[in-house]
Structure 1
Amino acid sequence: MFSRRSFLHSASLAPFVSLTTGQTPPTPPSVIKPPRLQTGDTVGLFCPAAPAYSQETVKIAQESLLALGFQTKLGPHIYDRYGYLAGRDADRVSDLHTFFDDRSVKAIMAIHGGWGCARLLPLLDYDRIERNPKLLIGYSDVTALLLGIYAKTGLVTVHGPVGSATFNGFTVDWFKRLLMDGEALTMRNPTEKGDNLTQTQDRINTIRPGLARGRLVGGNLTVLSHMIGSPYLPDWRNTILFLEDTHEDIYRIDRMLTHLKLAGILNQVAGFVFGKCTDCGPGENSYGSLTLDDVLNEHIVPLDKPAFSGAMIGHIRDKFSVPLGIDTEIDATTGTIRLLESAVG
């Protein structure tokens, strides 16, 4: 008997129907690689979501980029405020458009996330962005812009540090190797044991062993899950999905992964990487809560696809810079993410 469950499973794998929209998925746009960064280049700083509450935060971002050898330019509305947003939607979009149009600006970096990037997606001029490809860098709420712009234009975007991030040795090294040196690098967690008998920090947890290849896409789980059903997500077929989050109770992680499963996304990906879930606990009055490992195992193990957790991706001090749209191979046994090509031109 052809059960409803088997029908839904086969439908989720069908190549011509998107469960997230109910329509035939569009042909993915050709990948556009932004030019690599060079010493002396100008980086545009703007606030696409929450306001820049502190001028000191902006100054620290400028000084950090100056120490990296870059000049900076501030968006005209960088200090605007409209409630919990960094100014009106149209003005935040204007800053982004201005930087894409400005030929002296070679990369665009968000000061921080918060909430508000998804509000900008219907207002963006994607043709303008496609005509002026350049690096767009950020994480957290900036995931909405990274995914939306990549999905609409094919431009490689970067889940990497924001201006208010800690530009320490680890973060800077991966940033420079990816975006300045143009390496087709292999991202591998640190393995230092310190004076312990075994490694206790930044360990890799293999969920399902094996190798998988596909286009690398993903970002913040909360932001991504709230974009499902919109036209601003990429085709998920044959992708490596990476996710991260912060300050979410375990039941919410469960709920969001369930959403991805019901939307057919998890069944379409070739491999899965979960980064860090910072301060993700059981929550208050949560008697008998599942653990994060429980939730990942329940949702990911049945996919029978290479998967691991613990990668240096997320709301953490030491972070990888991760390009969206680049052909990648993951080794879930060793916990590595190997780019098969450079992310920049």
Structure 2
Amino acid sequence: MKAAAQAQATTGGPPVLLPPRLKAGDTVGLIEPASATWEPFAIQLIEEALANLGLKSKRAHNILDRDGYFAGDDQARADGVNQMFADPDVAAIMSVRGGWGTARILPFLDFDLIGQNPKALIGYSDITALHLAIHARTGMVTFHGPVGISAWGQQSLETFKPLLFDAAMPDYVNPVAGEDRLVQRKWRTQTITPGTARGRLLGGNLTVMTALVGTPYLPDFDGAILFFEDIDEAVYRIDRMLTQLGQAGILGRVAGVIVGNCTDCSQGSSIGGFTLSEILTHHLQPLGVPAYSGAFIGHLTDQFTVPEGGLVEMDADAGSFRLLEPAVR
């Protein structure tokens, strides 16, 4: 029997704020709030990809700047973000890449300005800090999806374009892998706790999200559908981070959990240690809310674009979720 789990339509914090949808001819502002891009040709490729989507592009002033491993110092990177939200010619904002450093710029962001100029913000990985902070401080829906340097394959575009251009409400069902096997193995989901739940979708990269605990940049997770993903983390570190989220009172407040891909997350050299699936079961099953793992979210060649703060309904038995209202206006 499915677990009974139903979330409220909204979490605490500011009212939900929707950005305008994209249309052909719009300008996308390119930002670098984290690590530096070392190769100018990478920016050219991003601009060509956007052109193929019918979009123009505009570079933040710090694109290709370097300060150690950052794309400029903290103030410069924050100014690049503020610049794009203030620019009336920019319709949406996309991060060139992730890496590390977005959390360092949060104190320098003008959240009043951002809230007065809602725009679709797109990116993942370290950009999780920007998504969560903006939602916490303004209520704006943002988009956890490809960064500029991503591959932009067909599977990425299947959710990106309808969601952002058409105000569609997609069903997020993992793609069917074209494997020559009797039973599909790639892109499979696994039910941790059965059931369905509704709530605002909040989360992102687990490492980045956990590092925001105790700061004013983490939104209210009451009744939320938590999602997370990560890359290149040992299983014991996933265990440690989920322990922190549990002891901080976050896991106990959510209505459901969607685990994306944990790319290259292994037991390391330990013998007889826990597997990732065992650690997920340890932390998520006792919550008594629907949970599943393996969603098409994370450090993948292609991935879903999902709305941070969007209202969704998840089905842990089916390993899928669906958007219940448009995420753009």
TM-score, normalising length from structure 2? Answer: 0.95
What's the counterpart of residue 322 of structure 2?
A: 338
What's the counterpart of residue 52 of structure 1?
A: 37
Match of 1:315 among 278, 299, 308: 299
Match of 1:195 among 167, 172, 180: 180
Q: What do you get for the CA RMSD once the two structures are aligned? A: 1.0
Task: Supply the distance in 1 between the matched residues of 2:27 and 2:264 (Cα, whole angstroms).
Answer: 35
CA deviation vs aligned residue, 1:179-208 (integer Å, no higher than 9, x gap): 111111111001245321111100010001
Aligned residues of 2:98 and 2:126 also touching (Cα < 8 A): yes
Match of 2:281 among 290, 294, 297: 297
Could you tell me which runs of 5 or more consecutive residues in structure 1 were left unpaired when the two chains were aligned.
1-25
SS of residue in 2 equivalent to 1:272:
strand
What's the counterpart of residue 156 of structure 2?
A: 171
CA deviation vs aligned residue, 1:136-160 (integer Å, no higher than 9, x gap): 1110000000000010000101101
- What are the within-5 Å matches in structure 2 for residues 93-104 of structure 1? 93-104=78-89
Aligned residues of 1:32 and 1:133 also touching (Cα < 8 A): yes
Task: Supply the distance in 2 between the matched residues of 1:185 and 1:241 (Cα, whole angstroms).
Answer: 18
Match of 1:70 among 52, 55, 73: 55
- 1:279 maps to 2:264: yes
CA deviation vs aligned residue, 1:4-28 (integer Å, no higher than 9, x gap): xxxxxxxxxxxxxxxxxxxxxx951
Match of 2:235 among 250, 254, 261: 250
Equivalenced residue count is 319
What is the letter of the counterpart of residue 72 of structure 1? Answer: S
Aligned residues of 2:62 and 2:76 also touching (Cα < 8 A): yes
What's the counterpart of residue 189 of structure 2?
A: 204
- What are the within-5 Å matches in structure 2 for residues 59-138 of structure 1? 59-138=44-123
Task: Supply the distance in 2 between the matched residues of 1:231 and 1:186 (Cα, whole angstroms).
Answer: 32
1:94 Cα offset (Å): 1.0
SS of residue in 1 equivalent to 2:212:
coil
Match of 1:139 among 119, 124, 129: 124
What is the letter of the counterpart of residue 285 of structure 2? Answer: V
Dislocated runs of 4+, deviation >4 Å:
none
SS of residue in 1 equivalent to 2:25:
coil
Aligned residues of 1:193 and 1:200 also touching (Cα < 8 A): no
1:287 Cα offset (Å): 2.3
Task: Supply the distance in 2 between the matched residues of 1:27 and 1:338 (Cα, whole angstroms).
Answer: 22
CA deviation vs aligned residue, 1:195-253 (integer Å, no higher than 9, x gap): 21111100010001110011110000000001000010111100000000000001000
Aligned residues of 2:12 and 2:222 also touching (Cα < 8 A): no
What is the letter of the counterpart of residue 343 of structure 1? Answer: A
Task: Supply the distance in 2 between the matched residues of 1:143 and 1:89 (Cα, whole angstroms).
Answer: 17
1:59 Cα offset (Å): 1.0
Match of 1:239 among 195, 215, 224: 224
SS of residue in 2 equivalent to 1:108:
strand
What is the letter of the counterpart of residue 194 of structure 1? Answer: E
Task: Supply the distance in 2 between the matched residues of 1:37 and 1:255 (Cα, whole angstroms).
Answer: 40
Aligned residues of 1:44 and 1:105 also touching (Cα < 8 A): yes
In structure 2, do the counterparts of structure 1 residues 257 and 40 end up closer, same or farther at CA, with 3 Å as the change threshold? same
What is the letter of the counterpart of residue 41 of structure 2? Answer: E
Aligned residues of 2:145 and 2:305 also touching (Cα < 8 A): yes
- The higher-RCO structure (CA 8 Å, 6+ apart) is 2
What's the counterpart of residue 23 of structure 2?
A: 38
What's the counterpart of residue 5 of structure 1?
A: none
1:51 Cα offset (Å): 0.3
What's the counterpart of residue 327 of structure 1?
A: 311
**Higher Cα radius of gyration:** 1
1:272 Cα offset (Å): 0.2
Task: Supply the distance in 1 between the matched residues of 2:312 and 2:185 (Cα, whole angstroms).
Answer: 28
Task: Supply the distance in 2 between the matched residues of 1:89 and 1:120 (Cα, whole angstroms).
Answer: 5
Task: Supply the distance in 1 between the matched residues of 2:53 and 2:178 (Cα, whole angstroms).
Answer: 29
Aligned residues of 1:225 and 1:256 also touching (Cα < 8 A): yes
Aligned residues of 1:211 and 1:332 also touching (Cα < 8 A): yes
What is the letter of the counterpart of residue 92 of structure 1? Answer: R
What's the counterpart of residue 245 of structure 2?
A: 260
Aligned residues of 2:82 and 2:114 also touching (Cα < 8 A): yes
Could you tell me which runs of 5 or more consecutive residues in structure 2 were left unpaired when the two chains were aligned.
1-10
SS of residue in 2 equivalent to 1:251:
helix
Aligned residues of 1:41 and 1:105 also touching (Cα < 8 A): yes
Task: Supply the distance in 2 between the matched residues of 1:214 and 1:27 (Cα, whole angstroms).
Answer: 12
User: What is the identity percentage for the equivalent residue pairs of Structure 1 and Structure 2?
Assistant: 50
